[in-house]
Structure 1
Amino acid sequence: MKRIGIDVGGTNTDAVIIDDDVVVHSVKRPTTEDVMDGILAALEALLRESEVPRTDIGAVMIGTTHFTNAVVQRRDVAKVAAVRIGLPAAATLPPFVDWPADLRDLVRGPIHMVRGGYEVDGRPLVPFDREGMRAAARAIADSGVEAVGLSCVFSPLNADLETEAAEILREECPGIAVTKSHELGRIGLLARENVSLLNAALTTMAHKTVAAFSAAIEKTGLSVPLFVTQNDGTVVAAEEAAAFPVRSFACGPTNSLRGAAFLSGLEDAIVVDVGGTTADIGILTRGFPREANNVVEVGGVRTLFRMPDLVSIGLGGGSLCDPQNPRSIGPRSVGFRILERARVFGGPDLTTTDIAVAAGLADIGDKDRVADLDPAYVAAALDHMRLMLADAVDRMKTSAAAVPLIAVGGGAFLVPDDLPGVSEVVRVPNAAVANAVGAGIAQISGEVDQIFTGLDRTKAIETARERAEANALRAGAQDGSIEVVELEDIPLAYLPGNSLRVRARVVGNVRF
């Protein structure tokens, strides 16, 4: 069954049709201010040009920066209530304490602290204050907020209190959206709580966005399931994506990494994805993006959850260049207006695409419009771009050994053929739409990150793997197709009972 992959970038909306391991057809259309118009234009062009019958399409996979842009640009976020179960131990630093002031003012609603929680070894901290929780729920109902971020001390070890508190909230606040922190974040309380609050603030917008995606698909005459890509290079059903929009924060670069692996056949490599505004550099490990194990900031908010390890620099095909200074490139970009702003298209602005055309690296637009550029200026600008990329690649590497680099994205022509620490620069067909390819080939994932006590190592690892597989099946993976892509165990000597932290991640094919 053929699948359509779509990636909505800041400059272009790309769409491809994938049939097993073959890219049947691809299109690239400018992203519009209303992203739905761009998606609809790309879909209609793809189906018209490919002449693939609509009945041959089994699913549509969409990757979008819509949710992270809402946080970064401080728009379409809602006020939410924060409930933390952890008194008396967790009162010093209240929810939202480390948020940027402007975003905090937009999102912060009622804050309620409740007695309860767990010790680091999973024992109850103090008895759960159920009456206090119910009183907090009634106050939240009176406040009128539509979503709640719910966190509990060490809930990843035991989620019972968050589950019970969520039931109380739904009883007292019918229709309210509840985000439970253990479903998103890891052990650290503040970073995990931040993720749950960000997710809650985006829930209303996420449901509207996913509904609009579905409407755009239906307008093209397709009647197929919609999946949305996530930060780890996999997909979830549209309904779950609407409930957990933060899981799609970094799906754009992740799609490019997965697409690069698919198009090149390489499972271990550096990937440089050059878009219209930025170049994103990531590492492929066994065909999937290397995950960040440290705190990641999103819009100035510290988070710790499933995110790819990336370095982004302000170098893209639409990056503005100073005509007087070849070493002044980006981070400002003409973005999706490149077709009207870049000089090779008759516009007034000098961009990196103009530099590449003048140097003969790309055949785009009218090269006569940049024939007046000084060759010395062009060479100096290209040299500075090389230095920018070399520095970013060096920051991502974990050893001095030379490794292959895959160049993808619409601006891949900006990546030189030689870089320090790179064994070869691999250029692949359909590189300009690698992000949409990555969306189209995406699988379903299941993950567990848990501390086990009282079990031997073999049993703990097996239990984590089984739970990860169960999560993947529940999310829509095809039984029999699941494989382990990450398995890590860390002994915790400071905890009693032979404690072991196990992280397991599996992937499987989408069950249609």
Structure 2
Amino acid sequence: MRIGIDVGGTNTDAALIGDGGEVLATVKSPTTEDVTGGVAAALAGLGATQVSAVMIGTTHFVNALVEAARLEPVAAVRLGLPATAALPPMVDWPERLRKVVEGASYLCHGGHEYDGTPISELDPEELRRVAADIRARGLRSVAISSVFSPVSDSSERRAAEILAAELGQEAHLSLSCEIGRVGLLARENATIVNAALRPLAERAVAAFSQALKVAGIDAPLFLSQNDGTLMDLSRATRYPVATFASGPTNSMRGAAYLSGLTDCAVVDIGGTTSDVGILVGGFPREASGEAMVAEVRTNFRIPDVLSIGIGGGSLVAEDGSVGPRSVGYRLPEEALVFGGGTLTATDLAVAAGHADIGDPSLVAGLDPARPLKLIADRVADAVDRMRTSSDPLPVVLVGGGSILIRELPGFEDVRRPDHYAVANAVGAAIAQVGGEVDRVFSGPRDTVLAEAKAEAVARAERAGAREGSVRIADVEEVPLAYLPGDATRIRVKAVGDLDLEKINA
């Protein structure tokens, strides 16, 4: 048996999945400020201790960035002089975040051109002086970036060796070549964000582990990533940004599992927002360009999700419009059906007979038809904006707020599967192990494709996937006409089932 947990800003959802893949039990409990309490309560609610693994998805880290809280000041080291001096690190950050995260910035020699030619030679003495200043400032988190490091990461690797030797084991080093794509500023931003979250990641992982001990569970613990795959605790503490979109991803993966569909639209309706995404081959479609996270431009991989301000706690105005303001976690206190004085979208659903929540007699006089139609129209419009063709597209509704919708205009196949309210926890429980390759290859197409696929499979197996279960989930090719030797940037993603015997060995 496996346990999947999704730690949201309002609720912590948990699901117990049997060895045959069936959902045995589910629970929803309030998220606590210390994280441990909510997870422990959810585990206690399931009442299972003899499990093979526990998988957790969390918005803890992205919430910290949004709130500009619990973040560590960062020393940003960029390798690229004499280039890149015009735009220093964090130049495009919002001031409120910059004040919290900016510890110091350093422009140093190193980096490469687009074809791998060095811009300038790395200067070890320069980096040692930087390390001395970082140490004098008392900074522990360091973000290292260099020009075109996805093409050649040698400058970043060498700089990390020098800084680690000078700063010691207490320093947390984050390398942009391991986090983002081509595009210096966005990749550097993502790396700085990751560095700012490293200490919090260590505390959060320790809290999750403690929650398992409190519940009497002795099983491997994993965190789910943006792409729907798992990472162990060691990787989770090094790359907290890899969890930023795990909530929507888990919901979409859970929707696929519960509905039996692999290609569809998923609408996850929570208390405040509705997230709309597209599943392709059972995995969320990735955003193709840069992603804004808490007003910071980044380019690490996250699912392509469109969010709109409609949820179960959304306020209903006198003119019948709904959202974007919401009572959020105060829904059980403020909604009319619970004896409160605020008209919410949940009250509309109860009045329409879509759900039996609270006291329906308290909303017996409501006419919910028009505002519920407006909700359905807005959600349908969001799904339509996400689709890429006019072909029929099934829509799966999940999340506690999905009781707001029965039909979507323009979509004939609309489903709400069993256990829809905890699809996010189910998605965490059924997550697989992944391996990914994203680099420039040179040579005949068939040869380099085979090489990239073999490397991705090997990485998945090293990460804990069972041999023979790994499949290629996605392949992306971008010919680089400006490079010699038939150069092509190839990204291959492989996924496989978790091999617990290998993990426990």
RMSD: 1.3
Aligned equivalents of 2:369, 2:9: Cα separation in 1: 28
Cα distance, 1:283 vs. partner?
Answer: 0.3
Verify the 8 A CA contact 2:15 2:422 in the aligned structure 1: yes
Residue in 2 that maps onto 1:39: 39
2:313 maps to amino acid: G
1:315 maps to amino acid: I
Cα distance, 1:320 vs. partner?
Answer: 1.7
Please point out which of 55, 59, 69 is paired with 2:63: 69
Q: Secondary structure at the match of 1:429?
A: coil
Q: Secondary structure at the match of 2:158?
A: helix
Q: Secondary structure at the match of 1:325?
A: coil
Cα distance, 1:473 vs. partner?
Answer: 2.6
Residue in 2 that maps onto 1:401: 391
Q: Secondary structure at the match of 1:216?
A: helix
Q: Secondary structure at the match of 1:326?
A: coil
Cα distance, 1:337 vs. partner?
Answer: 2.2
Identify the range of structure 1 (490-499 vs 246-255) with the bigger mean alpha-carbon deviation.
490-499
Please point out which of 314, 318, 324 is paired with 1:331: 324
Q: Do structure 1's residue 483 and structure 2's residue 477 form an aligned pair?
A: no
Q: Secondary structure at the match of 2:320?
A: strand
Verify the 8 A CA contact 1:408 1:432 in the aligned structure 2: yes
Q: Deviations over 1:454-512 (max 9, x none)?
A: x1111221222222223223322222221110011121112222111101001111121
Residue in 2 that maps onto 1:425: 414
Identity, in percent, stands at 52
Verify the 8 A CA contact 2:229 2:431 in the aligned structure 1: yes
Verify the 8 A CA contact 2:434 2:496 in the aligned structure 1: yes
Identify the range of structure 1 (68-77 vs 17-26) with the bigger mean alpha-carbon deviation.
17-26
1:356 maps to amino acid: A
Residue in 1 that maps onto 2:307: 312
Aligned equivalents of 1:221, 1:185: Cα separation in 2: 38
Aligned equivalents of 2:65, 2:492: Cα separation in 1: 29
Q: Secondary structure at the match of 1:305?
A: coil
Please point out which of 262, 265, 283 is paired with 1:267: 262
Verify the 8 A CA contact 1:116 1:126 in the aligned structure 2: yes
Residue in 1 that maps onto 2:457: 469
Please point out which of 143, 146, 161 is paired with 2:155: 161
Cα distance, 1:372 vs. partner?
Answer: 2.5
Q: Do structure 1's residue 7 and structure 2's residue 11 form an aligned pair?
A: no
Aligned equivalents of 1:314, 1:119: Cα separation in 2: 43
Residue in 2 that maps onto 1:321: 316
Cα distance, 1:250 vs. partner?
Answer: 0.7
Q: TM-score, structure 1 length as denominator?
A: 0.95
Aligned equivalents of 2:226, 2:15: Cα separation in 1: 20
Aligned equivalents of 1:365, 1:291: Cα separation in 2: 39
Q: Deviations over 1:234-264 (max 9, x none)?
A: 1111221111110000110100100011111
Cα distance, 1:61 vs. partner?
Answer: 0.5
Residue in 1 that maps onto 2:232: 237
Q: Secondary structure at the match of 1:423?
A: coil
Residue in 2 that maps onto 1:217: 212
Identify the range of structure 1 (221-230 vs 127-136) with the bigger mean alpha-carbon deviation.
127-136
Residue in 2 that maps onto 1:436: 425
Aligned equivalents of 1:138, 1:464: Cα separation in 2: 40
Residue in 2 that maps onto 1:452: 441
Aligned equivalents of 2:226, 2:455: Cα separation in 1: 20
Runs of 4+ in 1 over 6 A off after TM superposition: none
Q: Do structure 1's residue 277 and structure 2's residue 267 form an aligned pair?
A: no
1:501 maps to amino acid: R
Q: Do structure 1's residue 363 and structure 2's residue 356 form an aligned pair?
A: yes
Verify the 8 A CA contact 2:376 2:407 in the aligned structure 1: no
Aligned length: 498
Q: Do structure 1's residue 130 and structure 2's residue 124 form an aligned pair?
A: yes
Aligned equivalents of 1:330, 1:289: Cα separation in 2: 26
Aligned equivalents of 2:329, 2:460: Cα separation in 1: 36
Q: TM-score, structure 2 length as denominator?
A: 0.96
1:22 maps to amino acid: E
Cα distance, 1:122 vs. partner?
Answer: 1.3
Residue in 2 that maps onto 1:341: 334
1:132 maps to amino acid: E
Q: Deviations over 1:385-429 (max 9, x none)?
A: 112102211110111222100111111111232322x23101211
Aligned equivalents of 1:91, 1:44: Cα separation in 2: 54
Cα distance, 1:104 vs. partner?
Answer: 0.7
Verify the 8 A CA contact 2:380 2:408 in the aligned structure 1: no
Please point out which of 184, 197, 203 is paired with 1:202: 197
Cα distance, 1:353 vs. partner?
Answer: 0.5
Cα distance, 1:126 vs. partner?
Answer: 1.9
Q: Deviations over 1:210-254 (max 9, x none)?
A: 101110111010111110111101111122111111000011010
Aligned equivalents of 2:260, 2:388: Cα separation in 1: 22
Please point out which of 249, 253, 273 is paired with 1:254: 249
Aligned equivalents of 1:445, 1:7: Cα separation in 2: 19
Q: Secondary structure at the match of 1:411?
A: helix
Aligned equivalents of 1:410, 1:227: Cα separation in 2: 25
2:54 maps to amino acid: V
Residue in 2 that maps onto 1:191: 186
Verify the 8 A CA contact 1:6 1:436 in the aligned structure 2: yes
Q: Deviations over 1:23-45 (max 9, x none)?
A: 11111122234432221111101
1:11 maps to amino acid: T
Q: Secondary structure at the match of 2:491?
A: strand
Verify the 8 A CA contact 1:31 1:336 in the aligned structure 2: no
Residue in 2 that maps onto 1:117: 111
Verify the 8 A CA contact 1:275 1:409 in the aligned structure 2: yes
Aligned equivalents of 2:33, 2:337: Cα separation in 1: 23
Residue in 1 that maps onto 2:503: none
In structure 1, runs of 5+ residues without a counterpart are none
Verify the 8 A CA contact 1:485 1:507 in the aligned structure 2: yes
Q: Deviations over 1:55-78 (max 9, x none)?
A: 3x0111111110000111111111
Aligned equivalents of 2:386, 2:131: Cα separation in 1: 45
Verify the 8 A CA contact 2:372 2:405 in the aligned structure 1: no
